[in-house]
Structure 1
Amino acid sequence: MITITIYKTKEQINGFIVEGHSGYAEEGSDIVCASVSILSYTALNAMNLVAGVSPEFISYEVDEETGFMNMRTLKVNDKTDVIYRNFMVGIELLLEDYSDYITLKFEEV
């Protein structure tokens, strides 16, 4: 099971944690893990390339073996919020068909 926690304030999202593997299929053939991975890495890379947030203002840790990514932006703006919301939309769409393999929760910070 992949657990995704979205960190947010009352106004904006400022990070997320992805933990675990889905168990949907064997490694290398797991479309659920691959989908969550591409959404996560796209969000991470878009912070600098699209939102203009300097790498020193992005805190992240990745362990692909355990399926772990923790990402937070130390500076947020309207573009970072859109990137995080886009990530969330992708996860919610995956949940429509793969809710046995993904859990989404929110934590106010």
Structure 2
Amino acid sequence: MIKVTIYQDQEAECIGFQMKGHAEFAAYGEDIVCSAVSVLVINTMNAIETFTQDVFEHDIHSKKDLVSFRITSNPVSHDAKLLLNSMVLGLEQIAKEYGKKYITLKKRKQEV
């Protein structure tokens, strides 16, 4: 199962996330849930780096099946918020379509 924690600021705005695990929907290389989640997450990180001036920290541990990303700029730019919210929308739609057996999302407040 993929477990995603969405980090939020005090105004409930998304400022980052942590993703860990595998969906195990299908065999490695054929798992469309893992593929979809990976595309959303990696594209969001790349888009924020490319299209915004926000400062962030990230960590990727392939052996631990862990990706974490957090905007450290204060305030977080409108564009970064939009990109993160778009990712969250996509993840929520995947969870709705494929169910909690493969992906779960939770939200957690963080200090900025």
Q: Percent identity at matched positions?
A: 29
Please tell me the root mean square deviation across aligned C-alpha atoms, in Å: 1.1
Encode CA deviations 1:44-88: one digit per residue, 9 max, x unaligned.
Answer: 0011212232xxx22001123432100001111111111110010
Tell me the SS of whatever aligns to 1:3.
strand
2:96 equivalent to 1:96? yes
**Residue of structure 2 equivalent to 1:16:** 17
User: In structure 2, what residue type is equivalent to 1:58?
Assistant: F
**Residue of structure 2 equivalent to 1:40:** 41
| Higher mean C-alpha displacement, 91-100 vs 57-66 | 57-66
Q: Among 50, 58, 61, which residue is 2:59 paired with?
A: 61
**Residue of structure 2 equivalent to 1:83:** 83
Q: TM-score, normalised by structure 1?
A: 0.91
Tell me the SS of whatever aligns to 2:22.
coil
User: In structure 1, what residue type is equivalent to 2:84?
Assistant: Y
Deviation for aligned residue 1:96: 1.5
Q: Find the aligned partners of 2:10 and 2:27 in 1 and give their Cα distance.
A: 39
Tell me the SS of whatever aligns to 1:60.
strand
Q: Find the aligned partners of 1:35 and 1:67 in 2 and give their Cα distance.
A: 15
Count of residues in correspondence between the two structures: 106
Unaligned 5+ residue runs, structure 1? none
Q: TM-score, normalised by structure 2?
A: 0.88
Contact kept? 1:22, 1:102, Cα under 8 Å: yes
Tell me the SS of whatever aligns to 2:15.
strand
Q: Find the aligned partners of 1:96 and 1:103 in 2 and give their Cα distance.
A: 10
